[in-house]
Structure formats: structure tokens, C-alpha cells
Amino acid sequence: MLELPEVVTIGRQMNEALTGKTVARAARGNTTHKWFFCNVGEEEFAQALGGKSVTGCSGDGKWMVMRLTGGTALLIGDMGGRVSLIADEGSLPKKHHLLVAFDDGSYLAVAMQMWGFANVTTEAELGAHWALAGISPMSAEFTYDAFKAIMDRYEAPEKNSAKAFLVQRPTITGIGNGYAQDILFRARIHPTRKVATIPTKERRQLYNAIKSVLKDAVRLGGRDTERDLFGKPGRYVPTLDKRALGKPCPACGTTVQKIQFLGGAAYFCASCQT
């Protein structure tokens, strides 16, 4: 899944590579996918983008935004898969679920894995769009006081875990299972730990871990298991993922363990994470 560091990286690259280009045609792709969701049909999608020029792109949370002349905006995100800039038609992936062809012969191709979303909207409506709700941990508004307020009002904290707080229906945007592992490891908090049991000192550690992990990953262009707009892998190597299972914890040497939790794998050090 593309999470905040990958989305920020791809959004920046899209802004540099696509701004000023004109859309020759747009289509919903050459294959169907039961878990790809678009808010408009094929004809409306083509009409909304066709003939318009890109005025800018950005990425934050789990969503990339393409702004076009006439006030149109395209959101792509909350997805697993690839967003690629293709130089010519002959290099297009065999399967793609969204395709934007530009008048210079290049293409923006989106190939979904698992699930993903595309929404055509207007630039005026972006501020209130459901996809962009929440606070970005990369923003100036994400202070410790703001973070503490989010934890204080977290729904049913006596039942919900630290992992759930980070990845499920988050008010803090852009964190999924991939980065939650390293965030909780740096904060020294077990993924199943109940939010209600986390005291002030450890809340500060969790806040600092969110900031530091995501900052490091953005600087390195995302995880080494994901690729950017040009097919290049990121340089952030997670401390805890499936490759760490059964190996010594880098902090204390205890064997890294795995449990199935909240619909996915959770990797942790039983000694470091309480």
C-alpha cells in the first residue's frame, strides 16, 4: 500500500513532470478490478479531463491530487499498486485501471493491486472532500498538543489498540500497516497495547516516533518495497517487516516476532515493546 512517504514522493514528481501538460484523452483503463472504485463512469471521466491542462499536483496522507484548468481535480489514492509516468504507448503496462494520455505522447498509468480509489471533483471542493479529511503528520498543525487532543478523544480507547489508533479510520492521515511497525518500535509500544494504558511520557514518545519515521521515509523517497513515478524503489528500509521475522532485534537482540492482528501482520520485539 502507498502510504504518506510514497504519496508525497509521487505527488512531488507528478508536479514536476506533469504541470503544463495537456490531457489528450483519459480512460478508466484496459481492465476491470472489483476493488477499484471511481465516482464517475467511463464517459464522464473522459469528458472531465479531456482537453484540460495540468496546473499542479501534490500528495499527502494517502492521496495524490492532480489539478487541471477549469477547476477540475483528480484524486488518486488509498491504494496498493503503481502510479507510473510512461514515455510512450509501447511501454504501457499490460494491465492498468486508469490512464491519462497527454498531448506529448506520454501517459500517466495507474495499476491497482488489492484496492484503490479515483475521484473526479472540483478544486473548490477539495477542502471538504472526505478523502482529505484529518490532519497530516507532516503539517505545521500536527503539534504535540494536537496529537494529545486526538488521543484524548479517541473513540472507545479502553477497547482499541495502539495499532488501531494509527491505521484504522485515522484522524492522523497517511499511516498504514507498513509504517505503523517502525513507529511503534521507535516508541517502544506493543501493537496490541490499549490506548487507555499509554501514559503521557509514552504518548510523547509515540508522537516523536510518528514524526521521525515519516520524516526519514519522505527524505528517502519511501520504502524500498514501493516504487516512485519512474519505477525507482525507495531507499527507506523498514526496521520491522517480514524480512526481520526471526532475526535479532537491532536494539536488544531479542528475536523479532509476528502475530496476525487487525487484519494484517504485526511485527514486534517482545523485550523492547511493552
- How do residues 208-252 score in pLDDT, each as one tens digit? 999 999 999 999 999 999 999 999 999 999 999 999 999 999 999
Please tell me what DSSP assigns to residue 254: P
Instruction: Determine the pLDDT at residue 8.
Output: 97
Cα–Cα distance for residue pair 249/269, rounded to 1 Å: 6
More confident: 217 or 27: 217
Segment 70-94 shows an average pLDDT of 91
Q: Using CB atoms within 10 A of its CB, is residue 121 exposed (0-12), middle (13-18) or buried (19+)?
A: buried
Q: pLDDT tier at 157 (50, 70, 90 boundaries)?
A: low
Cα–Cα distance for residue pair 78/86, rounded to 1 Å: 22
Cα–Cα distance for residue pair 250/231, rounded to 1 Å: 30
**CATH assignment, 4-132:** 3.20.190.10
Q: pLDDT tier at 32 (50, 70, 90 boundaries)?
A: confident
Segment 128-136 shows an average pLDDT of 89
Instruction: Determine the pLDDT at residue 71.
Output: 96
Instruction: Determine the pLDDT at residue 156.
Output: 66
CA distances from 4 to 163, 172, 189, 203 (A): 16, 11, 21, 21
- Quote the Cα angle for 140-142-147, to 5°: 160
Per-residue pLDDT reduced to its tens digit, 90-111: 888 888 889 999 999 999 999 8
Segment 257-265 shows an average pLDDT of 91
**What's phi and psi for 213, nearest 5 deg?**
-65, -50
Reference 11, options 176, 214, 166, 222; nearest CA is: 222
Q: pLDDT tier at 12 (50, 70, 90 boundaries)?
A: very high
**CATH assignment, 144-268:** 1.10.8.50
Q: Decide: helix, strand or coil at residue 232.
A: coil
Instruction: Determine the pLDDT at residue 268.
Output: 97
**What's phi and psi for 135, nearest 5 deg?**
-115, 135
Q: Using CB atoms within 10 A of its CB, is residue 67 exposed (0-12), middle (13-18) or buried (19+)?
A: buried
Is 0.85 surpassed by the pTM of this model? yes
| Stretch (H or E) spanning 81 | strand 80-86
Cα–Cα distance for residue pair 126/136, rounded to 1 Å: 15
Cell numbers representing residue 82 in the block = 503503481
The domain locations on the chain are 4-132, 144-268
- Cβ atoms of residues 64 and 174 within 8 Å: no
Alpha carbon 93 to its chain's center: 22
Q: What percent of the chain has pLDDT over 70?
A: 98
